[in-house]
Structure 1
Amino acid sequence: MDDIHRKRDKTLGIPELIAIALGGMVGGGIFTILGISVSMIGAYTPFAIILGGIVAALAAYSYIKLGVYYQDEGATYSFFKRTFPNSAFAASLIGWWVIFGYISTLSLYAYTFSSYALSSFSYANDEIIRKLVAGVVIFVFTLINLWSVKGMGKIEDLMVYTKLVILIIISFVLINHSNTTIPNLLNESKDVEFSAILIVASITFVAYEGFQLVINAVNEMDNPQKNIPIAIYSAIALAILLYVVISFGAILAISFDDIIANKEYALASGANKVLGHWGNDLVIIGALLATSSAISGTLFGASRQMSIVAKDGFFPKFLEKRNIYNIPTNSILMMSFLAFCLILSGSLKLILEFGSVTFLIVSLLMAIANFKIRDKTDSSFFITILAIVLLLASTILIIFYEFQVEMEQMFFIVFLYVVLTFLSWIYSKRK
C-alpha cells in the first residue's frame, strides 16, 4: 500500500523543485546579510555574495552526489547514518542538530514576515502582536503542508516566482536611479581587508541554506538522477543572480549609512526614497512572499527528515506517523509548534546564529561523507577536497567572527549544542 501511495504522489516537477529550493534560500537571509556586509566591506558586498554562492555550490555538489546515490528523503541525516553505519550516537547527533537548525530558520522566517507585514502600522513595534502574527503565518502554512503535496508545490511556485520578479524589478529600478558609480564606491572602500571579505562570504553562506530541501522531496519526484542536480544547481544560480542584483541596486541607490541603519529594511527604505510609497509597498510584498515561501519550503522538507529520524528511534516515535498520502503529519505539527515556542522565547537572533553555524558544520560533514564513498557516488576527488577545505575555512571564519563581535551569542550557541548533544546521546543509548 505504501508503494502505491508513493508512486501516485510523485507530483513535483522541475519548477516545483526549484521553487522549494529557492523558497528555502530566498527568505529573510539576504535582507539581514545586506546590512552586515555593507557595514564590514562596503562596495565589495556583491563580490562576497558571489564567493558565498561558490562555496554553496561546492557544498551542494556532495549533497547532489549523495542524494542521487542514496535517494533517501532523510537527506542529511540519512546520508551520514548510511555512510557511517557503526555509530548510533553520530547518527542521532546530526539528526538533532540539523532538525533544530531548520526549526531556528523557520522561526526567523515567520518573525521576519510579521515584522514586514506590520511595518506600515502604528503598532509595528508591539512585540506581542508581532509574535502572534508570526504564529498565525506558521499555522497557515502548516495547514497547507498538511493539505496536499501538489497543492503546496503549486502555491510555492506562485510565491517564489512572483517574489523573484518583484525583487528583480525593484533592484533594477534602484540601479537606474543610482546616485554614484561602482569605481567611486570601490575607492571609498579601498581600506577593506581581504580577510573581511572572506568573513562576509562565510556569513553569506547562510543565505544559500535551503537548497538541500529538494532531496527531502525524493519520494514526490520522478527521475531523481536528473531532477535533483537540475533543481539544486538552477536554484543556486538564480539565488546568486538575485542576490548580486539586489546588492548592486542597494549600494548604488542607497547610502551606506542608511543601509547599515535599516539593515533588514534597507531595500524598503531605499525604494521609498527613490520611488515613493508604492516602491516601499512593493518591497514589503516581495519580502512577505520571500518569507512565506521560505516557511513553506522549510516546513515541507525538514518535516520529512524529522519523520525519518523518528522512524530510526532517535526522536519520539509518534513523529514518524504519516497519513495515506505519505505526508508526515505529526512532524509538521511538531516543527510548527517548536518554531512558535522559539518565537515566544524572544531569542531569535541567538537562534539564527545557531542555525548559521549548524548548517556550515553539517555541510562540511556531508562533504566528508561524500569523500569517504566518492567511488560509489562517482565524485571528483579535487572538487570534493576543495569543498571540504572551503567549508572548513568558512566554519572557522564565522566562529572567529562570532567570538570577536558577539561573544555572548557564541556562548549561548555552545550551550544549545551541549543540550542537543545530551538529548541525542540519550536517544542513541535508548535505541
Structure 2
Amino acid sequence: MKQHRNRNKNLGLVELIAIALGGMVGGGIFTILGISVALIGNLTPIAIAVGGIIAALAAYSYVKLGTYYKDEGATYSFFKRTYPGSNFSASAIGWFIIFGYISTLALYAYTFSSYALSSTDFAENIIMRKVVAITVIGLFTLINVWSVNGMGKIEDFMVYTKLIVLSIISFVLIYHGSTDVETFLEIMALDAENANVFSIIIVASLTFVAYEGFQLVINAVNEMKNPDKNIPRAIYSAIVLAVVIYLVISMGALFAIPSEEIIKNKEFALAAGAESILGKIGANLVILGAILATSSAISGTLFGSSRQMAVIAKDGFFPHILSHRKNNIPKNAIIAMAIISSLLISIGGLQLILEFGSVTFLLVSFLMGIANYKIRAKTKSSTFITLLSIVGLGIGGILILYYELTNNWEQMLAILVLYTFLGLGAWRFAKRQATMQNL
C-alpha cells in the first residue's frame, strides 16, 4: 500500500509552482491594467507590488495551516477543523470559496475565447465567444479527468511557455516604447503628487484577484512529494514570480501605450500596443501569451478547486455524488464545476461574477488569517505577521467594498444578493447535515 501511495505522488516542486502560477497569471493581469491606470496612472507598478505584498501576507496563513493540517480541502477544511462546532460556518465558507473559483473559471474561459477570436471575423460575435469558451472548458475537463501526471506536464508547458512569451512581449515594448526610464520616473513623481495613499491601496486590493490561485497548491497535497517543504517553496516562489511578471507587463504597457488607450482598451491594450510597434506579429504574440495564460489558469483552477469541492461534498455540504473519485481523481466534481461555469458563460454577467470573486477571495483569506491566529502555537506562526496579515486583508476588503459602493452601487447590491443566495444554499445543507448527525 505504501508503494502504491508513493506512485501516486506525481507532483514535484516544478509542477506545484506551475499550478500556482497557472491559477494566478490568467485573465486577471489583462483586465487589471485598465482599471489601475484609470485610477492612479503610472503608479500602477507600485500598486501591483503592494498587491503582491498583500498576497504574501495572505499566503503566510495558508502555508502554516497547509503544512499543519495537510488536507486537500484547503480553505474549507482549515476553517472546519479549526472551528469544529459550527456546521453552518463550514458549509458557508465551502459554498463561497467554490463559487469564487467557478466565477474565475468562467472569466478565464471567456477571456480565452475573446483573445482566440480577436483576429478573426468572429471577434465581435458574442455567441461564438461563448461557444469557444465552453469548448475550452470541456477540453481541460477531459485533461483533468484523464490523468494527474498528464495534467501536471501540460500545465508545466503552458505556464513556463506563457511566462517566456509575456516576458518577451513586455521587454520588447519597453525597448521600443516612446517613454524612457528617466521620463517614466518623472511622470510617476507627478502622479504621486496628485494621488493619495488610499487610491494606491484600493488598486492594490483590486489587484489581489490577480494573485488568487496560489492556494491551489494545497489542494494537491495528496499528489505532491514532500509537502512540508514543497508547499511553502511552491507558494512563495509562485508569488514572487507573479509579481515580477506583472511588473514587467505593466512597465511594458506604460512605456509603449498611451494611458488613454490602456484605459479604453483594457484587456486588449497589450495586444494593441504590440501591434502598433511590431505589427501583426506582435499582436499574434500577445494573443498567444493570453491564450496560454488563460489555458493554464483554467486547468490549474479545475484541478485544485475540484478536490476541495469533493472534500466539502464528502462532509455533506454539497450533493454526495460530487465526492466520488476514480484513481483518486474527483471526476464528478471536475465535471460539475465545468458545467456550472459553462452555465455562467451562457447567461453572461461575468463582470459581476468577477467582482464577486475578488471580494470573496479577500474575505476568505481574512478568515484564514483569523483561523491561523487561533492555533498559532500549533502552526508555529509569528503572532506579529499573522496579525499584520489580518489587518492588511481587512483593510483591503473594506476599501474594495468602498470602491464598489461609490462607483457602482447596483453591482454591490447584486453581489450582496448573490451572497444571500449562496448563504441560503449553505444553510440548507448545514441543517440537513445537523439532522443526519442527530439521528
State the distance in 1 between where 2:35 and 2:225 align: 40
Report if the CA contact (8 A) 1:19-1:156 is conserved. Answer: yes
| Structure 2 counterpart of 1:390, from 384, 392, 399 | 392
**Residue 361 of structure 1: which of 342, 358, 363 is its match?**
363
Give the Cα–Cα distance (whole angstroms) in 2 for the partners of residues 310 and 4 of structure 1.
Answer: 28
2:142 match: 143
Q: Tell whether 2:204 aligns with 1:205.
A: no
User: Could you say which residue in structure 2 is the equivalent of 1:412?
Assistant: 414
Offset, 1:406: 1.5
Q: Deviations over 1:244-295 (max 9, x none)?
A: 0111111111100110111001110100011111000000000000000000
> Whole-Å Cα distance in 1 between the matches of residues 200 and 94 of structure 2?
32
1:77-126 alpha-carbon deviations (Å, 9 max, x no partner): 00000000000110000000000000000000000000000000122111
| 1:57 matched residue in structure 2 | 56
The letter for the 1-side match of 2:140 is: F
Long gaps (5+) in structure 1: none
| Cα separation, 2, equivalents of 1:186 and 1:19 | 33
Which residue number corresponds to residue 120 of structure 1? Answer: 119
Q: Residue in 2 aligned with 1:111?
A: 110
CA deviations over 1:349-397 (Å, ceiling 9, x no partner): 0000000000000000000000000000000000000000000000000
| Superimposed CA distance per residue, residues 34-63 of structure 1 (whole angstroms, 9 cap, x where no aligned partner) | 000001100100000000000000100000
Match of 1:428 in 2: 430
> What's the CA shift string for 1:327-358, capped at 9, x where partnerless?
00000000000000000111100000000000
Q: Which moved more, 1:194-203 or 1:292-301?
A: 194-203
Say if 1:110 and 1:295, in contact at 8 Å, map to a contact too. yes
1:216 to 203, 219, 233: 219
Alpha-carbon spacing, 1:125–1:384, altered in 2? closer, same or farther (3 Å): same
What amino acid is aligned across from residue 401 of structure 1 in structure 2? Answer: Y
Equivalent in the alignment of 1:252: 255
Name the structure 2 match of 1:183.
185
Q: SS at 1:297's partner residue?
A: helix
Whole-angstrom distance in 1 between the partners of 2:4 and 2:353: 37
1:407, CA displacement in angstroms? 1.1
TM superposition shift of 1:7: 3.2
Count of aligned residue pairs for this structure pair: 429
Q: Aligned partners of 1:143 and 1:427: how far apart in 2?
A: 29
Structure-2-length-normalised TM-score: 0.97
- For 2:348 and 2:186, the matched residues in 1 are separated by 41
Equivalent AA in structure 2 for residue 167 of structure 1: L
In the aligned structure 2, how far is the partner of 1:278 from the partner of 1:402? 38
| Cα deviation, residue 187, structure 1 | 4.6
Q: Is the 8 A contact 1:60 1:212 kept in 2?
A: yes
The residue type paired with residue 344 of structure 2 is: L
Rounded to whole Å, the distance in 1 between the matches of 2:140 and 2:99 is 18
Q: Deviations over 1:9-30 (max 9, x none)?
A: 1000111000000000000000
Q: Whole-Å Cα distance in 2 between the matches of residues 404 and 149 of structure 1?
A: 44
RMSD over equivalenced CA pairs, Å? 0.9
Give me the whole-angstrom Cα distance separating, in 2, the residues matched to 1:93 and 1:270: 43
The answer to whether the aligner puts 1:16 opposite 2:15 as a matched pair is: yes
How far 1:172 sits from its partner (Å)?
0.6
Alignment match of 2:301 (pick from 295, 298, 303):
298
Residue 5 of structure 1 and its aligned partner are, at CA, apart by 5.0
**Partner of 2:330 in structure 1?**
328
- Residue equivalent to 1:167: 166
Equivalent position of 1:95 in the other structure: 94
Q: Corresponding residue for 1:375?
A: 377
Aligned to 1:153: 152
Contact 1:111 1:343 in 2 (8 A): yes
Task: Spell out structure 1 runs of 4+ moving beyond 3 A.
Answer: 3-7
CA distance in 1, matches of 2:196, 2:347: 37
Corresponding residue of 1:340: 342
Amino acid in structure 1 at the alignment position of 2:276: K
C-alpha displacement of 1:416: 0.6
2: distance between equivalents of 1:191 and 1:5? 62
The answer for unaligned runs of 5 or more in structure 2 is 434-439
What secondary structure, in the 3-state scheme, does the structure 2 residue paired with 1:430 have?
A: helix
1:195 CA displacement:
1.3
CA distance in 1, matches of 2:36, 2:23: 21
What is the letter of the counterpart of residue 155 of structure 2? Answer: E
When residues 116 and 408 of structure 1 are mapped into structure 2, their CA distance, relative to the original with a 3 A threshold, is same
Paired residue for 1:41? 40
Instruction: Supply the distance in 2 between the matched residues of 1:95 and 1:8 (Cα, whole angstroms).
Output: 30
1:399 maps to 401
Deviation (angstroms), 1:194: 1.8
User: What is the rounded CA distance, in whole Å, between the counterparts of 1:271 and 1:69 in structure 2?
Assistant: 46
- Paired position in structure 2 for 1:284: 287
Contact 1:74–1:216, Cα closer than 8 Å, also in 2: yes
Q: Is the 8 A contact 1:16 1:157 kept in 2?
A: yes
Counterpart AA for 2:305: A
Normalised by the size of structure 1, how large is the TM-score? 0.98
8 Å Cα contact 1:5-1:326 kept in structure 2: no
